[in-house]
Structure 1
Amino acid sequence: MTLILHRLAASVAILCIATFFSATIFVELFGTGESIATLKSLIVWPGLFILVPSIALTGGSGFALAKSRSGKLVLQKKKRMPFIGANGVLVLIPCAVFLDLWASVGTFDTNFYVVQGVELLAGAINLILMGLNMRDGFRMSGRFRRFA
């Protein structure tokens, strides 16, 4: 049951971040100020209330699954998780909240776009780290073979 929860929560977390990331780029390129504000609002609610628990469940279930395992891949996954969590709590959540506040009042100035850039960079980093964890999880389960 823990394995199913882990896989489901990890999938939801990766899909959330990928959706936020791609929707942000799309709306910035092709949207209006109103559509940007709507997206930023949706990322905060309900987006963060789906993303944050899914990351927490992924981490918690991953640590529970790792208790009975050892090895290089488990250690690598354990080392990445604090960075993923800290990046989310210290960078992504505050960025999302500030961008939502600024977009809701139509403040699309230099500060908005600097924070937007930081959010996109942090999101990309989390996607990469989570992808590496997923790859290592597949390797541990025997779905991917390691190439020399």
Structure 2
Amino acid sequence: MIKAIHPIAGGIALLTILTFWLSTAFSEVFTSPEVVTPVKTLIPWGFIILIPALIATGGSGFQRGRNMRGPLVAAKKKRMPFIAANGIAVLIPSALYLSFKAQAGAFDTTFYAVQTVELTAGAVNIGLLGLNMRDGMRMTGKLRRRPV
């Protein structure tokens, strides 16, 4: 069961974060504040999906990897604390702050500074989660390693 939960929950988490990031970037670049406001307002509601998916991914990954050794397992274990800290310390507070600012119509310098930090931190987490997915697929044989 854990063997199935880990990739499904990880995929849901990655797709959710990617959806947040793309909807934010698209709405900021191509639309008006009237579109940005609902996007920024809805993102915290997405935590209802994201947080359980991340918990399931982390818990099942820890369970699956506890008896495993090797460079791919070590790399995944090394990335996870940074991914979690980035999410808890930067992404969640930023999303909540931006949601409140957008609802108030306060698209000021602070809003855009925090938006830049959020997009950067989100891109980092997307990249790290993508690397973890790639390494997990290599560990299970679903993705071959490139010849050196």
TM-score category of the 2 structures, normalised to the smaller one: over 0.9
CA deviation string 1:40-93 (max 9, x = no partner)? 111011x11211111111111000000231111111101101111000000000
Match of 1:143 in 2: 142
Match of 2:127 in 1: 128
Counterparts of residues 18-33 of structure 1 (less than 5 Å): 18-33=18-33
Structure 1: stretches of 5+ with no match in the other structure = none
CA separation in 1, counterparts of 2:6 and 2:145? 22
CA separation in 2, counterparts of 1:132 and 1:59? 15
CA separation in 2, counterparts of 1:122 and 1:29? 18
Match of 2:108 in 1: 109
| TM-score normalised by L of structure 1 | 0.96
The CA RMSD measured in Å over matched residues stands at 0.9
Identity, % of aligned positions: 52
Match of 1:61 in 2: 60
CA deviation string 1:86-133 (max 9, x = no partner)? 000000000000000000000000000000000000000000000000
Provide runs of 4+ in structure 1 moved above 6 Å: none
CA deviation string 1:27-51 (max 9, x = no partner)? 1122222211101111011x11211
CA separation in 2, counterparts of 1:29 and 1:140? 38
Structure 2: stretches of 5+ with no match in the other structure = none
Residue 82 of structure 1 aligns to which amino acid in structure 2? P
CA separation in 1, counterparts of 2:50 and 2:15? 9
1:119 and 2:118 aligned = yes
